[in-house]
Chains A and B, each alone.
Chain A
Amino acid sequence: MRKGPQTNTLLITYFIHHLRVLLGSLGRLTRQPLSTLMTMAVIAIALTLPAGLYLALNNISGLSAGWDSSTKISLFLHTEADEKQARTLLGRLQLHNEIEQVSLISKDQGLEQFKQLSGFGDALEFLESNPLPIVLVIQPIIDPNRPDRIDQLLHELESEKLVELAQLDMQWVKRLYALLEIAHRVIWAIGGLLGLAVLLIVGNTIRLDIQNRRAEIEVSKLIGASNAFIRRPFLYTGFWYGLSGGLLAWLLTTLSLYMLAAPVEKLALLYHSDFQLSGLDSGDTINLIMISCGLGLLGSWLAVGRHLDEIEPS
């Protein structure tokens, strides 16, 4: 029987064929601009929601990183330590390169604060002597990349002779991080569900496309088209849906961010913060678009796998 074209030109021809199918499927999409735009928009909206939540979470995390400056270590000294010893220790600690600032709360100041805050003011009058220790409040320098350093500092301070107890006042930061962790998972769940939605949208669109091109598929099968050949334009169509939907999602996310930037800045100013909203960086953008393209391809792959075999010439 006769052979096809020569093998050495096959690779180039194959590549050109792919390129042609890629552009051909794009051309087909642009010939039905309305339905293409609608599919694109649905995909984009489904992707914008998790992308937006992700950004919000990122910004909150960034914001809380700034709040680390309010993390404080309280050093409770032995009750017998006098103020002079305490001042010497303070002087020494101020030279420590991991400590930003040290302040001293004397026994009297401590009692005064306690009276005000605890509501036991009158009862404390009956105490013979002041039972409170001198407290040194330390503001450590926190390296966000090395959160373990703070624990080491804590141990170091605890080993000081004068120190009875070193307490890291970080409870609320830990709670915030725990909350952020939950929010993270929620976003993953929402993102997963919406990703599934994108799969279904693309799959359904491709299914309709396959039905509309039934005659073409039948004829192609009759004249010897392999399944891969028939599958290809649909896969590329899915790819285009994914790519365009991803780009649109990026645009929507960036636009929403732009709209929020001014009011957020105003709010930050009221809190005397120089906080600024951060957008999707290049890595995030590439991830968004790759995920979108991947979902488009996978959705069309599933649809094609399910529905192409049903069409056989008869």
Chain B
Amino acid sequence: MIHFDNVSKRYPGGFEALSQVSFRLPRGKIGYLTGHSGAGKSTLLKLIALIERPSRGQIILDGANLSHISNRHVPYVRRNIGIIFQNHHLLYDRTVFDNVAMPLVIQGYRHREIQSRTRAALDQVGLLSKAKSDPITLSGGEQQRVGIARAIVHKPALLLADEPTGNLDPELSLEIMELFARFNQVGTSVLIASHDLDLIQQLGARALSLKQGRVFDDEISPRDDDAGAA
């Protein structure tokens, strides 16, 4: 699903956020991205979502080389990705339902389909009863789940999450992570950036550890003897 080949990202000013990062996340797998803040986790996710472009190296996403994607086509790549942010990025001028429905509206789904899919997504995160609420009235954990519902409502092939549990207590964090595991079980590839090593250990998950922009420990790339293909 994701294939990084010697990817480096240098920001204007000379700071190198990623150096020669290579890894593979096979289709349908779940991977965690760990490291201290500043290790390059967010940069790595931004490169996949085409929010940033690499300075060197190649990124292959679902068989497509991202360096060949023109700015005009960036939106169409992003439509196959669901992105979840630490600060939710919800819009407070509309209801929970309208927030979650946004990706479907953007992609031109019909009214009826928007209704049913949005309700299904809200149901999956357990917030169907809050569909008509204003997001501002929800708790932090609930807001994060609205963000997740929005990321999965159009059934993307890949889910990216940047510190999705950053502001949550351990119990809620575990709940959120289990939610991701459930989406993964139905075939969605998932990449989650988190600095919460305890939580990842608790989940017994495989992680790619970054340290100062370099791969420190890679447990997610398939070994040569593994059959999984990127």
Residues of A within 8 A of B (CB): 1-2, 4-5, 9-10, 13-14, 16-17, 215-216, 218-227, 229, 312-314
Contact B107–A313 (Cβ < 8 Å): no
Please list 30 pairs of residues, one from A and one from B, whose beta carbons are closer than 8 Å in the complex, sorted by A's number: A1-B62, A2-B155, A2-B156, A2-B157, A4-B107, A4-B109, A5-B107, A9-B110, A10-B108, A215-B89, A216-B91, A216-B93, A219-B91, A221-B75, A221-B78, A222-B49, A222-B78, A222-B89, A223-B83, A223-B103, A223-B106, A224-B75, A224-B76, A224-B81, A224-B106, A224-B107, A225-B75, A225-B106, A227-B72, A229-B75
B68 interface residue, CB < 8 Å from A? no
- Give the residue name and chain of the A residue nearest to B107 (CB): A4
**Complex contacts, A227 vs chain B, CB 8 Å:** 72, 75
Interface residues on B, range: 20 to 34
Contact B155–A226 (Cβ < 8 Å): no
Contact A314–B51 (Cβ < 8 Å): yes
Residues of B within 8 A of A (CB): 49, 51, 62, 72, 75-81, 83, 89, 91, 93, 102-103, 105-111, 113, 150, 155-157
CB distance from B46 to the nearest CB of A (A): 8
Q: How far apart are the CA atoms of A220 and B106 in the complex, in Å? A: 8
Picked from A4, A219, A224, the residue with its CB within 8 Å of the CB of B89 is: A219
Chain B CB count within 10 A is highest, among A2, A16, A224, A225, for A224
Contact A5–B75 (Cβ < 8 Å): no
**Besides A14-B108, A219-B91, A224-B103, 19 other CB < 8 A contacts?**
A2-B80, A2-B156, A4-B108, A5-B107, A5-B108, A9-B110, A13-B108, A215-B89, A222-B49, A223-B78, A223-B79, A223-B103, A223-B150, A224-B76, A224-B77, A226-B75, A227-B72, A312-B51, A313-B51
**If A216-B93, A222-B49, A225-B75 touch, does A5 touch B113 (CB 8 Å cutoff)?**
yes
